[in-house]
Amino acid sequence: MASYKIQRVKGAEGSTVYPYEAAGHYECVTTRLHDPADVNDGKITMGITYFVPGGRTDFKSNAMESVYYILEGEMTLKTDDGETVLKAGDSFHCGPGCNKSVTNTGTTVTQMLVVLIK
């Protein structure tokens, strides 16, 4: 039997969206939409991170597959292969152990949907 969870927008009745501290993240607000315990086998984490101009992450890897989707604004993505600018509507995927970082080099707050898969 499949399980499901509906997440309401932050501040709405029934919403369980919450901010948290993410190591290696600077000048941003990280929010959690779904924890690993929310859906089926607990292999997915999903959230939205709000980066102010200059907000960034450390250049490092993690043990999870990562998918970033830019909802608003733009981010400069750095990988071992170089740098590129991601704009609203762009996405990035990498496997576990890949070095990466993002920096808001724009002039407005960037909203980035983050999906992590174990």
Partnered with residue 90 across adjacent β-strands are none
pLDDT along the chain (118 residues), means of 10: 75 88 96 85 91 98 96 98 98 97 97 95
- Taken in order of first residue, the domains within the chain and their CATH numbers are 18-117 (2.60.120.10)
Smallest CA-to-CA distance from 47 within 27, 75, 19, 72 is with 19
User: What pLDDT was estimated at residue 1?
Assistant: 43
Whole-number pLDDT of residue 61: 96
Whether residue 105 contacts residue 75, with contact meaning beta carbons closer than 8 Å, is answered with: yes
Token pair, residue 63, equals 């043990």
Q: Which residue has the tokens 């959690």?
A: 32
* pLDDT value of residue 102: 98
| Structure confidence at residue 2 (pLDDT) | 54
Q: Does the global pTM surpass 0.95?
A: no
